Chains A and B, each alone.
Chain A
């Protein structure tokens, strides 16, 4: 039963990925051109998910919106992991003062709710997809830094690093060749699971109007646009909301599967 779940999650993620790159494969209706003549049509054979206030096809907008959510989800995590690798290794190898400074800063950042941290970043950078990506990356940075630091310290104390030191290999070689790969391998798995929450945070920021601006078909923004139409046109907000949920679930299921896979491989 569980393998069916994983298969479905993988297929869903694959379809979302294709939609993000080639939305034209799924729909030929425009995503941003208003067509006031067909405003707020309920779901039907013509418009599968109905139309919004401006007569735009909701299905087409959901399909075109996939790229923003996936970009923010995967992009922010990638950026965050990359940054965390540098900072975490610095903490693990830079000596006690550097370590204390890094740990202190990260503890401070962890004390702030992620969304608040993201809002702070957007206050500085302004709205837009890139800003949201950066904001989400910063908000998930402290957690990843802690992980990298802890893992790097484990690897640093490992017998194989001791063996490499005894061979007289230079420090940069040991870090590059042994510490970095063995630190990142488990992080990739944790990162994948983190993509789900990054998608949610990104959509949340867009919902607040801080993401890509109209008429960009971003899911969070679409939910926001549809929320005061709930009593007359529920479909405007429901389908982008469902898209967010499905994406997060698919990503999380795949991340868990990856986690199990790597656990069985190392044992």
Chain B
């Protein structure tokens, strides 16, 4: 959010930001959380950030309300404000801010502590940083019980085990004695939920509870949240993922620039969005309209890998087989996607193909010549043929360099004389939809989408024939994601690039891939043309992955993605 932009605009305070009037009047007894005209500002003067601008929101008991929006829309600030954790320097005002009749507006920190964890539970996005690494999971879950003195001390361990079992953690007694790092991501998130619900709060606020998780784990957590809602807990879900929202929420509020631009029953909003931003958000969801299959590439293989193996030692003296017997061929002009969950070995495979790692067994050939096992001295001049696009563009740039230096360095690598670099950098930036205006900017001062465009410009600078993209859009907002995918597709077609597209996101893969390779535990469990893999998966694991993707019904009441009869349907591309 740019402070300069927001400072001057007047806040739409009077009626709140809600376009659709809230269905239930405030006086109705079932309303649990009642928010009207909530306003949150940070900083002052030129540094003023008006994060939340007069929003109104009501949640009834047992209801799930979702706030969707992109990064910087104010949705997380809203969530934190509801538990009194807006942050140092935040100035909060509201016409109404009440939990079942208790006015939350001017609570002292001490009174807040009696509400937080007791009456409102909070689930953060990243369980690993939200759990204390020095305390056992059991101690973490027991904390709200002890702090709020809900149970005699001797009965606490028993209740902790019960809670862990309730959130679906197997072998709860043993898990309670373990530390967060000993648990998988999904188990950690469940432990976090267990601690949030330990005191049986009336309202659970979940800020992107599944964003950091694999799709199969996400499905389990969503089931869990749904079960709790059925038992009567009200749920405020903060998410950028419309499919997740579609699955859980009764009502949804769409936030943009600190305002609620549209709200109403979830089905209505998703089927008939009225605000242009909501429409944009829905249109940007990947995989809704898969492109028609393209003819299979027949050119010569650019990258050919045979029987790749890679082991890593583990601290305990053992080893992990990150990649086991993987073979693949990538031809000019085609896009091969490697999909899998975290730890499946897909990134290691990418690094093997890039020549950043040496395989323990197997070979990689580039243009028919040996690429793996060749001394770096001989490999260096051929590196210009493979461009790389990494997941987090910002960390892929030296923090001290400007955009011009970042892209210029790639030109230097292929021997473009310094005098001609500036013009070429501008050309490349224009090719990716940026202008000369960003030349002197630091990438840190660009938006996520602009950064990834700079990374693409750098990858193109050496005139590559292959792009290896490792999760190139996972760090981006959904609308930006759609634009970057479009850019990649356009460049691929214009320049005849081959693309290796590593991703955990099947919907994104559906949008871009000609062929798909599904990996699990370092092995390829399924490989084939994208249509076949998505419509007639042969491996059980692929079916499991596809089933776990949350989806919603479109107005013509068909599942949003992956339905067989969508193939061959004309696309808007």
* Cβ contact within 8 Å between B388 and A163: yes
Contacting B356 at CB < 8 Å: which of A160, A166, A169, A171? Answer: A166
Residue B433, interface by CB 8 Å: no
Shortest distance between the CB of A84 and any CB in chain B (Å): 21
Interface residues of B in 45-95 (CB under 8 A from A): none
Task: Give the one of B380, B382, B386 with max A CB within 10 A.
Answer: B380
Contacting B462 at CB < 8 Å: which of A159, A162, A167, A170? Answer: A167
Shortest distance between the CB of A158 and any CB in chain B (Å): 7
**Interface residues of chain B: helix, strand, loop or mixed (majority):** helix
Shortest distance between the CB of B241 and any CB in chain A (Å): 25
Shortest distance between the CB of B381 and any CB in chain A (Å): 6
Cα(A165)–Cα(B409), bound, Å:
11
Contacting A167 at CB < 8 Å: which of B395, B399, B410? Answer: B410
Task: Find chain B residues with CB under 8 A from A185 CB.
Answer: 400
* Cβ contact within 8 Å between B409 and A169: yes
Residue A126, interface by CB 8 Å: no
Q: A163-B388, A163-B390 are in contact. Are A168 and B380 (CB under 8 A)?
A: yes
Shortest distance between the CB of A177 and any CB in chain B (Å): 8
Residue B384, interface by CB 8 Å: yes
* Cβ contact within 8 Å between B396 and A163: yes
Shortest distance between the CB of B445 and any CB in chain A (Å): 13
* Cβ contact within 8 Å between B390 and A159: yes
Cα(A159)–Cα(B392), bound, Å:
9
* Cβ contact within 8 Å between A163 and B458: yes
Task: Find chain B residues with CB under 8 A from A167 CB.
Answer: 383-384, 409-410, 413, 458, 461-462
Cα(A198)–Cα(B382), bound, Å:
49
Residue B387, interface by CB 8 Å: yes
* Cβ contact within 8 Å between B356 and A182: no
The chain A residue sitting closest to B397, CB to CB, is A160
Task: Find chain A residues with CB under 8 A from B461 CB.
Answer: 167
Contact with B along A151-187 (1 / 0, CB 8 A): 0000000111011111111110000011001100100
Contacting A166 at CB < 8 Å: which of B388, B395, B398? Answer: B388
The chain A residue sitting closest to B380, CB to CB, is A168
Interface size class of A (residues with CB under 8 A): 10 to 19
**Interface residues of chain A: helix, strand, loop or mixed (majority):** helix
Task: Give the one of A159, A178, A182, A266 with max B CB within 10 A.
Answer: A159
Contacting B390 at CB < 8 Å: which of A162, A170, A171, A266? Answer: A162
Task: Find chain B residues with CB under 8 A from A266 CB.
Answer: 399
Interface residues of A in 112-143 (CB under 8 A from B): none
Residue B354, interface by CB 8 Å: yes
Cα(A162)–Cα(B397), bound, Å:
10
* Cβ contact within 8 Å between B462 and A168: yes
Contact with A along B363-407 (1 / 0, CB 8 A): 000000000000010001111101110101001111110000000
Contacting A159 at CB < 8 Å: which of B383, B396, B458? Answer: B396
Contacting B354 at CB < 8 Å: which of A158, A166, A170, A177? Answer: A166
Cα(A76)–Cα(B399), bound, Å:
29
* Cβ contact within 8 Å between A168 and B413: yes
Cα(A229)–Cα(B139), bound, Å:
62
Cα(A159)–Cα(B390), bound, Å:
8
Cα(A178)–Cα(B398), bound, Å:
7
* Cβ contact within 8 Å between A168 and B398: no
Q: A181-B400, A182-B399 are in contact. Are A168 and B381 (CB under 8 A)?
A: yes
Contacting B413 at CB < 8 Å: which of A158, A159, A169, A181? Answer: A169
Shortest distance between the CB of B44 and any CB in chain A (Å): 18
Cα(A93)–Cα(B384), bound, Å:
24
* Cβ contact within 8 Å between A160 and B388: no
Interface residues of A in 188-205 (CB under 8 A from B): none
Cα(A163)–Cα(B380), bound, Å:
13
Task: Find chain A residues with CB under 8 A from B414 CB.
Answer: 168
The chain B residue sitting closest to A161, CB to CB, is B398
Cα(A181)–Cα(B399), bound, Å:
10
The chain A residue sitting closest to B468, CB to CB, is A166
Task: Give the one of A163, A166, A170 with max B CB within 10 A.
Answer: A166
Task: Give the one of B387, B398, B410, B458 with max A CB within 10 A.
Answer: B398
Shortest distance between the CB of A18 and any CB in chain B (Å): 32
Cα(A266)–Cα(B400), bound, Å:
11
Contacting B396 at CB < 8 Å: which of A160, A171, A181, A182? Answer: A160
Cα(A171)–Cα(B376), bound, Å:
10
Cα(A90)–Cα(B423), bound, Å:
38
The chain B residue sitting closest to A170, CB to CB, is B380
Task: Find chain B residues with CB under 8 A from A177 CB.
Answer: 398, 409
Task: Find chain B residues with CB under 8 A from A171 CB.
Answer: 376
* Cβ contact within 8 Å between B397 and A168: no
Cα(A159)–Cα(B388), bound, Å:
11
Additional 20 contacts, C-beta under 8 A, given A163-B388, A163-B458, A166-B356: A159-B390, A160-B398, A162-B356, A162-B388, A162-B396, A163-B396, A163-B455, A166-B354, A166-B386, A167-B383, A167-B409, A167-B413, A168-B380, A168-B381, A168-B383, A168-B384, A168-B462, A171-B376, A177-B398, A181-B400
The 3 A-B pairs with the shortest beta carbon distances in the complex, nearest first, are A168-B383, A167-B413, A166-B388
A residues adjacent to B (C-beta < 8 A): 158-160, 162-171, 177-178, 181-182, 185, 266
